[in-house]
Structure 1
């Protein structure tokens, strides 16, 4: 029944599902009728000349795929995995922060340990469970809140924020920076959604204060060049701030307002729990996080 349901939801037609299953159309129609009865839902309904999913069918599709994967992996023999000779492809969903902080050094490490492995870094998608179910992704790394509620996750480290300005800033280049001085300057913000409240704005609002954001951009990569050439202030994750300070003449300091830290985590599909290659890759993530905690003095705070 699970295979029939998976085929029907994948093909959205009885004839397509029958061909996929190697069954006759009457037999597949009978399977659909049984599934409709068991699930108390029509699953596929006609719209014009096509059959479309019901809401229930859309909910079931990724879950059925995961169940079939788990069953298949339970009975399938496991192949040995040798990272030194493997040509395995790994598709990883990652946000801008994770790509810059985690995956860039991880890729450099893998070039030494597993030169034949191919990494495909794809934009993080909050529908990562569906991407796992359709085998479009093997791992996802992001802030822990974005992965909340998913079973197969692991926390890597805790990250907090630092503010940065150019080292020769005319007002913030030296000495202790007060909240009033901090707010008297114009600010830049990394935001993929444009001018929206950032992590600094909520604690400021609790104090009845606000800042003036005059520039937003969607990616971290352009940030150090902007700060180094202007009088703007930016508040960014600490590990990124330290990386910027190495390549640009910047001053880093603790924001004079309590900005909440965040956890960085990664997730993997249930189908890969017993996969030796995926077990190895998860270990590489853990080791990369361990190195980050040692190299960046702000990690684990």
Structure 2
């Protein structure tokens, strides 16, 4: 019969204590009566006690059996909890909080549609937007953060990643800019004053491309993020170079002109990141599927200004 799992012996003890009959225990466990007799013999040997004795009323438990039935059932209950299927996540009734690490650019581009979808599907769920910093990988691993969204190539290999959409680069300008009317070429780009966004991995990509091509912008204002950028561009003759999704959102919201960046800059993938230990956690999986459904098919947003640029003017 080979090695018999201890769980089987515990189940036999529990059932036999209930039904007080080897025959009934065999039927309850789906085994033959000889098999149950063999199991009972092994259990008696391991415990060093007969456990059950035959009487006119059936198999009567010994005092030792009476003492062991409580711990036996506690063990079986614990094993049942360990092997039980994890409860499904029901967004309609869920009341949990999701903490998502993202940049301030994502606050203006990704967060509004994400919040709208969550409120529609899971009205009891609360979102918390957190920043992205050196502690992001640690908070993902610990479960303090559920997800990170952005361009985060520096996260370690222990963090899982799903690409969502690709970003290229655009330039924002005042729609009444006195010198940028019908086109934005390289020479005009270099000649104009600029607002520089200094934070984020994307800013590093931009500066690397400008340096490689020997371009030094005339930076008039440095900002640590996108807060206030739309109003600044709309009230000055400065230019701002930024990823397309952010640029499109700011252009539409502030009545700004949007131009293809006349300087080649590497594209990059925006993705969602999480720790693999939460791969199968129902709530985390629901959130990732929601994010992928919202942003996984984002394509390059069309804009009338996206005509081929004259790269020399």
TM-score range for the pair, normalised by the shorter chain length: 0.5 to 0.7
Deviations 1:72-110 (A, max 9, x none): x98564012110111011111112223322222101111
| Cα gap change, 1:146 to 1:288, in 2 (>3 Å) | farther
1:288 matched to 2:287? The reply is no
Match of 2:141 in 1: 133
Measured in 2, the distance between the counterparts of 1:253 and 1:148 equals 35
Q: CA deviation at 1:219?
A: 2.0
Please provide the CA RMSD for this pair: 2.3
Q: CA deviation at 1:171?
A: 0.4
Paired residue for 1:168, among 161, 166, 176?
176
Contact 2:164 2:297 in 1 (8 A): no
Contact 1:191 1:216 in 2 (8 A): yes
Match of 1:97 in 2: 105
How many aligned residue pairs are there?
Answer: 221
Measured in 1, the distance between the counterparts of 2:155 and 2:106 equals 13
Contact 1:186 1:213 in 2 (8 A): yes
Deviations 1:6-45 (A, max 9, x none): xxxxxxxxxxxxxxxxxxxxxxxxxxxxxxxxxxxxxxxx
| Cα gap change, 1:80 to 1:234, in 2 (>3 Å) | same
Contact 2:137 2:159 in 1 (8 A): no
Match of 1:187 in 2: 194
> TM-score under structure 1 normalisation?
0.67
| Cα gap change, 1:92 to 1:165, in 2 (>3 Å) | same
Match of 1:262 in 2: 268
User: What is the DSSP-based 3-state SS (H/G/I as helix, E as strand, rest coil) of the residue aligned with 2:298?
Assistant: helix
Match of 1:216 in 2: 222
Paired residue for 1:201, among 207, 212, 223?
207
Alignment of 1:1-301 (within 5 A): 77-147=85-155, 149-172=157-180, 174-192=181-199, 199-290=205-296, 292-293=298-299, 296-297=301-302
| Cα gap change, 1:148 to 1:237, in 2 (>3 Å) | farther
Contact 2:165 2:271 in 1 (8 A): yes
Deviations 1:143-198 (A, max 9, x none): 041435344111111111100110110101x12222111111110012249xxx75
Measured in 2, the distance between the counterparts of 1:126 and 1:158 equals 24
| Cα gap change, 1:235 to 1:152, in 2 (>3 Å) | same
Deviations 1:221-268 (A, max 9, x none): 311100000010101111111112212221111111101111111111
Deviations 1:186-215 (A, max 9, x none): 10012249xxx7544332322323111110
| Cα gap change, 1:207 to 1:130, in 2 (>3 Å) | closer
Runs of 4+ in 1 over 6 A off after TM superposition: none
Match of 1:41 in 2: none
| Cα gap change, 1:128 to 1:204, in 2 (>3 Å) | closer
> TM-score under structure 2 normalisation?
0.65
**Higher alpha-carbon Rg:** 2
| Cα gap change, 1:102 to 1:241, in 2 (>3 Å) | same
Measured in 2, the distance between the counterparts of 1:152 and 1:199 equals 23
Match of 2:30 in 1: none
Contact 2:172 2:239 in 1 (8 A): yes
User: What is the DSSP-based 3-state SS (H/G/I as helix, E as strand, rest coil) of the residue aligned with 1:292?
Assistant: coil
| Cα gap change, 1:168 to 1:136, in 2 (>3 Å) | same
